[in-house]
Structure 1
Amino acid sequence: MKLTDIEHVFFDLDHTLWDFDRNSALAFREIFKKQNIEIDVDDFLAVYKPINFKYWELYRNNSVTKESLRYGRLKESFDSLRFETCDATINLLADDYIEYLPNNNHLLEGSMEVLDHLRNTYKLHIITNGFEEVQQRKMVNSGIFDFFQTITTSEEAGVKKPHPQIFEKALQKSGALPQKSVMIGDNLEADIVGASQFGLHAIYLRSEDQDAQNQFIQIQKLKELLNYL
C-alpha cells in the first residue's frame, strides 16, 4: 500500500544505501597491507563486527567518545585474537581506516535505481550518525551526493539518532513537515523508532537475522521501497 501525502524522504547512509560492510572490508585489507599487519582480514572481521556494533551503541548513547570508539574497537578486536600490537600502531590504523574507507564506492543493491526513481517525485535527504569528515566523501565517491537536498549529521546536530533534536534539525534544514516525511534506515531504534516518535513515517530496512516483530513497514531490499513510495 502506497504512503500518501509524502513530500520528503530521509535516508540513513551506512548499511542503508552505502554498502558499509563491503567497503569496510576493502579498507581493512588496504590498511593492514600498508601497516604490515599479518592477520587474516576475514578472521579479524569476524570478531571486529560485533565489537564495532557494540561501540557504536555506546557512542550513540554518549557512553564513549568518538576517539574512544575509533581506538577501542580496534584494540579490543586485536586483543580478542591475541594479536599483539602497540598503541601507536592502533592509532595509525584508526586514522588510516577513516582515510581509506570513503575510497571504496560500493552501494547496496538497488540504491542508484531507487534514488533515481524517487528524485522525480520527492525531495531526498540524509540523516546520519556517521563521522562528518567521511560521510560526504562517501556520497561523492559513490555518485549519490547530488540526489540529496540536505545532509544532517549527528556532529552538526550535537546529538545522535534517535534523539529528537537531530530529526528536528533535519526537518528545519529541509523545510519538511514530519507528517509529510518518511525515514528509511536499517537501525530499528535509531532510525525507525526515533523518527516515528518525532512524527515521521518510517520504513525499516532489515536483514534476515534482524527482529521482524514490530509495527513498522519492513523491507529487505531497497527496491521494495517502490511498493510504498
Structure 2
Amino acid sequence: MGVRAIIFDLDDTLITDEAASMLAFEEVGVKASRFGIIKIGSFIRDCQNLAHKLWSSGPCHSYCDSVGISALECLWGRFTDEQEELRRLRNWAIPFRKAVFSVALQRQLPRIPPDVGLELSEEFSQARRKFQILMPDAKEVLACLYPRYCLGMLTNGAPSLQREKIVVSGLEPFFQAISISGEKGIGKPRAEIFFQLIEKLDTLPSKVIMVGNSEERDVAGARNAGIRSVWFHAFEAGERPRPYTGISALRELPALVREIDAHSR
C-alpha cells in the first residue's frame, strides 16, 4: 500500500502555542508592575486560572470545545470570521479579556484604574502575536518530506486565527490542502473532518499518517478515521509507554515515515 500523504497538526506540533502564550503572559506581567509592586508569577497563574474558569462557564464554551478554540486563544484571537458562532465569540471575548486581566491584577492591587484590564488585554494580544515561534526543525522536516509525499494540515480552531498563524509562520507553501475545524463546524477527533481532508489529498486512509501532539484529538481522531498516527510528545516529561508510535523531536519523523512506508508496501 505505501504512504502517500502525511497530515500534520499545527499548534504545539509545527508551531509553539503554550510556550508562546507563557512568554506573552510574562511580558504583560512585567508591564502590569507599572501599576504597583506585584508578584508576577502569581499574576500569571491568576490570569490563566481565571481565563479557563470564565471560558468554561461562558456562553461560547460548547462551540469552542467542539471546534478546539482554547481559553488562551480567546485572549488574543481577532475572530473576524463570518460564522454566527464566531461573531458571538468576538463580541464575548472583549469583556472576557478585560475581566481576566483586571480581576487578576486586583487580587494584588485592589485599587486600579477602570480601563487597566482592557489595556493589559491589548498588550497581551500584541505580545502573543510577537511570539509566533516554529517548533525546532519544523521547516527542515517539511522541506524533506514535501518532494515525496502529499502534505496536509488539519488544525482545530477559528479560521481567522489559524490562518494568521499559518501565514506568519511561513508554512503554507508546503501544504497541498489545509482544513480548519472552524470552517467545517466540526473538529478533531471527529472522523468526518479527517475524511474530508483525505479526499482533498486524493488518497485513501490506508495511505495516510497523522502527526500531532494531542492524544485526545490527533491520535484518537486518526484511530477514528482508520489511519496511522505518530504522536509527537516533545513536551511530555517521563513519558509512559503508549500502544502507538511516538517521536520526541520532529527531526525523527522522516526516518520513521520511510520505515513505515517500507513496511506497508
Q: What does residue range 21-32 of structure 1 map to in structure 2 within 5 Å?
A: 21-29=18-26
Structure 2 Cα separation of the partners of residues 42 and 159 of structure 1: 36
Structure 1 Cα separation of the partners of residues 252 and 193 of structure 2: 26
Counterpart of 2:65, as a letter, is R
Which deviates the most, 56-65 or 155-164? 56-65
Residues 84-142 of structure 1: CA deviation (Å, up to 9, x unaligned): 67997556655665565344331111111111111121111111112221222222222
* 8 Å CA contact 1:22, 1:106 repeated in 2: no
Counterpart of 1:60, as a letter, is D
Structure 2 Cα separation of the partners of residues 73 and 26 of structure 1: 19
When normalised by structure 2's length, the TM-score is 0.67
Partner of 2:13: 16
1:224 positional shift? 1.3
Which deviates the most, 188-197 or 45-54? 45-54
Counterpart of 2:21, as a letter, is S
Structure 2 Cα separation of the partners of residues 25 and 222 of structure 1: 22
Structure 2 Cα separation of the partners of residues 6 and 50 of structure 1: 42
Is 1:7–2:4 an aligned residue pair? yes
Structure 2 Cα separation of the partners of residues 11 and 87 of structure 1: 43
Secondary structure of the residue aligned to 1:13 is coil
Aligned length, in residue pairs: 226
Is 1:109–2:136 an aligned residue pair? yes
Give the counterpart of 1:132 among 159, 162, 187.
159
1:45 positional shift? 4.2
Partner of 2:150: 123
Is 1:188–2:215 an aligned residue pair? yes
1:217 positional shift? 0.3
Q: What does residue range 21-60 of structure 1 map to in structure 2 within 5 Å?
A: 21-29=18-26, 42-46=41-45, 59-60=64-65
- Give structure 2 stretches of 5+ with no counterpart: 75-88, 258-265
Counterpart of 1:223, as a letter, is R
Structure 1 or 2, whichever has the larger Rg, is: 2
Identity %: 27
Partner of 2:194: 167
* 8 Å CA contact 1:102, 1:137 repeated in 2: no
When normalised by structure 1's length, the TM-score is 0.77
Counterpart of 1:75, as a letter, is V
Partner of 2:242: 214
Structure 1 Cα separation of the partners of residues 173 and 51 of structure 2: 30
Structure 2 Cα separation of the partners of residues 141 and 223 of structure 1: 22
